[in-house]
Amino acid sequence: MVKRAFSFINKEFSGLHQAAYLLGAFAFISQILGLVRDRLLAHAFGAGPMLDAYYAAFRIPDLIFIGVSSFVSLTVLIPFLAGRLDAEGKATESADTFIRSVTSVFVVSVTLVCGATFFAMPILAPILAPGFTSEQMTLLISLSRILLLSPILLGLSNILGGITQTFRKFVVYAGAPVLYNLGIIIGIVLFLPYAGLSGVAWGVVFGAFLHVLIQLPVAIKEKLVPKWTLRPDINIIRDVVGLSLPRTVALSASQFVSAALVAVASTFTAGSVAVMTFAFNLQSVPLSIIGVSYSVAAFPTLARFFSSGDTKLFARHMMTAARHIILWSLPAIVLFVMLRAQIVRVVLGSGGFDWTDTRLTAAALAVFVVSVLAQSLQLLFVRGYYAAGKTKTPLVINLVFSGITIVLVGILSQSFSPTEGWGEVMVHLLKIADLPGTEIVVLPLAYTLGMIGNAVALWIFFDKDFYEFSLRAERAFVEVAGASFVMGVVAYHLLNAIAPHIDMETFSGVFLQGAGAGIGGILAGICVLLIIGNKEIREIGGAFHTHIGHVRPVGAEKEEI
């Protein structure tokens, strides 16, 4: 049994869909654990001021992680490291020097930044959450200081992740987020009763430690363990910084958007930060399973095609990934919108998380999830540009639309009224007109508009830069949109048909209603796609024909994913 487990870990996964499905499967497990994590927190605290402070405490550490640790991001490290392997794909002295240099400079940089931030938190906290009470502010500062350990650990894990991906150990790489969420759950279950939310924060740190630990054996085996050196190679650092800087700026802009959402939410009704975060985490489930998996799986092959000068195959591979992202994303959006109340109630509806919290979170989820396709395509386009060595275009687009999103947050929050204009239309459409705190919907609305604009701009520029991309992807969009519409109609009618026959006041009743409507809708959508002869459905069948259990282990003939 143990031998089989190690054999599975060392398998090489060939083919875009097989790799994407592997990553998607692990992303699904990680997201399930993430939902368990959120349910435990919702049960203990509900959507209230305590969780507002907890979720706000992540913003500064996350900004540091993006700002400093993007220096050791996978898209930066992998090309450098791969170019320093020998003809047989083994580590060389040059690869070891590279890892040592990057590790040493990163550790010094992130430690200095986190140390300075630790003492500056009393100044930064009121800027981050201007609407918090003094009690919330004290808690925010305390939790943020604990969480400052996570950028250090996750940055080290990024370095190890570069090694695991370079040597194609995708199982190890995909398993790290699973252990991260498991560590947080341990913090909630074991530490929360004794240390409150500080115990949960220490659980986050423990999860980050596990994120590092699972990948360490691969580095040891390949003789590329990150170590300290007093003499890092300055030329290596200069090259890495030059390549990572555009990505650092782009990702930092995205973190400023998140910080702006938290800052505005802190001025709304107590619990608004928690409601927004719960909704965002729920919409991240399809995003992680679909968008992240396909974009990560496609990246190595895109880089190989472009570096060999085969731009037609490069564009074709992008089109294949984009069409399959559309195939999975549009139905997911429709189902999440139609089943939003059932999803929120099943996942979070426990303990202190009451019906008002459920309805507000469901409304925010419905607006957030509309952007899942845009976010997924954005991830793919950015990796496509990075594979082609063109970092300027996605950087400029991301900066522009991050700025637009922040402006939209301000404009929409100031113009929103639940009793007139567009605000009245939204609250009635989302069925929350009778609730307090309906202003929360402006935050996912601003975010969704910004993400859609970002994806459309990337699509237009990518279509311009690479031959014949959009037309074939648009065909897939029309076909899947039609099937998704049928799926939504069927799911809606099944919701109403099932409700009179079950007890909607129980967990099992809500679950059965949502599951029955969802399964019925999915079957209807699949039937439509089969009837019209959708190409993507046929490709999925071909991918599963050569199933994961039959792929060759590492050491066989090399194939790019």
Angle at 316 between CA 315 and CA 319, to 5 degrees: 85
Nearest-10 Cα torsion for 46, 47, 49, 53: 100
* The two three-digit tokens of residue 181, written as one number: 């969420």
Could you tell me what percentage of the chain is helix, strand and coil, using 3-state DSSP and rounding each to the nearest 5?
80, 0, 20
In this prediction the pTM is 0.84
Q: Residue 24's closest CA among 361, 321, 348, 455?
A: 321
| pLDDT given for residue 20 in this prediction | 61
CA distance 166 to 168: 5
Are 232 and 105 in contact by the 8 Å Cβ rule? The answer is yes
* The two three-digit tokens of residue 434, written as one number: 């009778």
Phi, psi of 167 (to 5 degrees): -95, 15
| pLDDT given for residue 11 in this prediction | 53
Instruction: Report which DSSP code applies to 291.
Output: I
| pLDDT given for residue 407 in this prediction | 95
Q: Residue 67's closest CA among 106, 103, 98?
A: 106
Non-local CB neighbours of 474 within 8 Å, separated by 6+ positions: none
User: What are the Cα distances from residue 132, in Å, to 54, 124, 179, 414?
Assistant: 12, 13, 32, 19
Non-local CB neighbours of 328 within 8 Å, separated by 6+ positions: 286, 289, 290
Are 368 and 279 in contact by the 8 Å Cβ rule? The answer is yes
| pLDDT given for residue 14 in this prediction | 47
Per-residue pLDDT of the chain (561 residues; tens, 9 = 90+): 444 544 544 555 545 556 566 766 777 888 889 889 999 999 999 888 999 999 999 999 988 888 776 666 666 676 677 667 666 567 677 777 888 888 888 888 889 999 999 999 999 999 999 999 999 999 999 999 999 999 999 988 888 877 777 776 767 777 888 899 999 999 999 999 999 999 999 999 999 999 989 888 888 887 777 887 778 878 877 777 776 777 777 777 888 898 999 999 999 999 999 999 999 999 988 888 887 777 777 776 776 677 667 777 777 778 888 888 888 899 999 999 999 999 999 899 888 888 899 999 999 999 999 999 999 999 888 888 877 777 788 889 999 999 999 999 999 999 999 888 999 999 999 999 999 989 999 999 999 999 999 999 998 888 887 765 554 667 778 888 888 899 999 999 999 999 888 887 787 888 888 889 999 999 998 898 888 887 777 766 655 554 444 433 322 323 222
Are 513 and 499 in contact by the 8 Å Cβ rule? The answer is yes
Q: Is 91 left (phi over 0), alpha (psi -120 to 50) or beta?
A: beta
**DSSP per-residue codes, 190-246:** IIHHHHTHHHHHHHHHHHHHHHHHTTHHHHHHTT------SS--HHHHHHHHHHHHH
| pLDDT given for residue 554 in this prediction | 29
Q: Which long-range contacts (CB under 8 A, 24 or more apart) does 260-264 make?
A: 260/405, 260/406, 260/409, 261/409, 261/443, 261/446, 261/447, 262/55, 262/56, 262/59, 262/128, 262/129, 263/127, 263/128, 263/129, 263/130, 263/131, 264/409, 264/410, 264/413, 264/442, 264/443
Instruction: Report which DSSP code applies to 391.
Output: -
Are 203 and 149 in contact by the 8 Å Cβ rule? The answer is no
Q: Residue 187's closest CA among 320, 351, 37?
A: 37
* The two three-digit tokens of residue 12, written as one number: 């090489």
CA distance 191 to 383: 39
- In angstroms, what is the C-alpha Rg of the chain? 23
Give the orientation angle of helix 507-531 with respect to helix 470-498, to 10 degrees. Answer: 140
Phi, psi of 22 (to 5 degrees): -60, -50
Non-local CB neighbours of 464 within 8 Å, separated by 6+ positions: none
* The two three-digit tokens of residue 149, written as one number: 């350990």
Question: Which amino acid is it at 324?
Answer: H
